[in-house]
Amino acid sequence: MAGVTDTVFRRLIRNQGGCGLIMTEFTSSHGVVATTKGRTKRSVTAHYLHFEPEEHPISAQLFGSDPEVMADAAKVCEELGFDAVDINFGCPVKKVVRCNGGSGLLRDMPLVDRLLKRCREAIGIPLTMKFRSGWNEREHVYMQMARMAEDNGLQAIALHPRTREQGYAGRSNWSHIAEVKAAVRIPVIGNGDVNTPEDAVRMIQETGCDAVMVGRAASSNPWIFRQIAEYRAAGSYFRPSEQDRYEMMRTYYRMLVEKGGLDIVGKMKQFATYFTHGVRNGAKLRVAVYHARTAEDIQALVERHFELELNAETAA
């Protein structure tokens, strides 16, 4: 979720309700350590590791391949006030894997073991990890990874049951989550192909997992965590109206402007792709936003679009 789950988006999600633990964008452990050496920690929090009090509980998500650097970065996160640290062994992106980060480490179990040991020794807050089933279908390591996490004292693990070779193609194999759940005593979080509340409940039923992690689906449906909680409790859930979508989009854009930054317009255009899913004539609004040049123009386009659509809805 790099480029998506910054502090503004996380606060938007938190405001919708239903979400337990929020996680930062994944952050380079080398970058965290390099930034803090000889400087104040304020510079670290300026981007990836910046969070607001209302985001608690929140976990810092790190990637890297050097046990000492990872341990130092984890200590920085603890000092910054994070509630937990998560190590990412799942990212399939080439530039990350080339540096032996993310799912690249699934080919080096001894190094994973050293990373976990050093990080567990370095911090007192909970340590978790997310990982894939393996590098490819011939090299599944998910059971080994799960047992290694338990042996090293991690508090929970999250499994995305695709291989690195798969990327996000095909279907995730939820049976791997069930196998891991049966093999370890620490909490197991299921991840992969949870696009609706029904998917989340089915994952729990089929795998016995203790919790469900939602990533990409939340970018176009920030209500999904609330919906999952409601569906589990009552068998039905909130479905956003056109008014709800309008309020969500204008709220996110307002929060972006209030936060400030170097590329507010670029972020607005990026999220127009996500947030116009399910909006009547959303493609039309999306195109208009893409061609706008200022944040004020984009906010005005959103206001005009929904004014027309909501008026048409009332007239009908």
> What is the pLDDT at residue 313?
75
List the alpha helices (DSSP H) in 208-263.
Answer: 216-220, 224-234, 242-259
| Contacting residues for 80 by C-beta, under 8 A, at least 6 apart | 41, 44, 45, 49, 60
Query: Angle at Cα 49 formed by Cα 48 and Cα 52, nearest 5°?
Result: 115
The yes/no answer on whether domain 7-234 falls in CATH 2.40.10.10 is no
Burial (CB count <10 Å: 0-12, 13-18, 19+), residue 111: middle
Nearest CA to 88 out of 141, 147, 25 is that of 25
Q: At a CB cut-off of 8 Å and minimum separation 6, what does 110 contact?
A: none
What gap in Å lies between CA 85 and CA 116, rounded to an integer? 11
Strands (E), the chain: 22-23, 27-28, 58-63, 84-89, 127-134, 156-163, 188-191, 211-213
What's the confidence (pLDDT) of residue 38?
A: 56
In angstroms, the CA 308 to CA 311 distance is 5
Catalytic, out of 91, 99, 119, 209: 91
Identify the pLDDT of residue 92.
Answer: 82
So where are the chain's domains? 7-234, 242-315
Nearest of 298, 282, 303, 233 to residue 17 by alpha carbon: 233
Residue 262: its pLDDT value, please? Answer: 74
CB count, 10 Å around CB of 262?
8
Is 91 labeled as catalytic in the residue annotation?
yes
Distance CA 216, CA 95 (A): 20
Task: Tell me which residue of 241, 223, 227 sits closest to 197, measured CA to CA.
Answer: 227
Residuewise pLDDT in 10s, the chain (316 residues)? 777 889 999 999 999 999 999 999 989 998 898 877 655 555 655 578 999 999 999 999 999 999 999 999 999 999 999 999 999 998 888 888 887 788 899 999 999 999 999 999 999 999 999 999 999 989 999 999 999 999 999 999 999 999 998 888 889 999 999 999 999 999 999 999 999 999 999 999 999 999 999 998 999 999 999 999 999 999 999 999 999 999 999 999 999 999 887 789 999 999 999 999 889 999 999 999 999 999 999 999 999 999 998 888 776 6
User: By CB neighbour count within 10 A (0-12 exposed, 13-18 middle, 19+ buried), where does 273 fall?
Assistant: middle
Strands 22-23 and 58-63: parallel
Question: Pick from 25, 8, 86, 14: which is nearest to 54 by CA?
Answer: 14
Which distant-in-sequence residues (6+ apart) come within 8 Å of 153 by Cβ?
120, 127
d(CA 211, CA 232): 12
Phi/psi of residue 134, nearest 5 degrees: 165, -175
Torsion-angle region of residue 71: left (phi > 0), alpha (psi -120 to 50) or beta? alpha
Report how far residue 310's alpha carbon sits from residue 142's, in angstroms, rounded to the nearest whole number: 49
CA–CA distance, 159 with 191 (Å, rounded to integer): 6
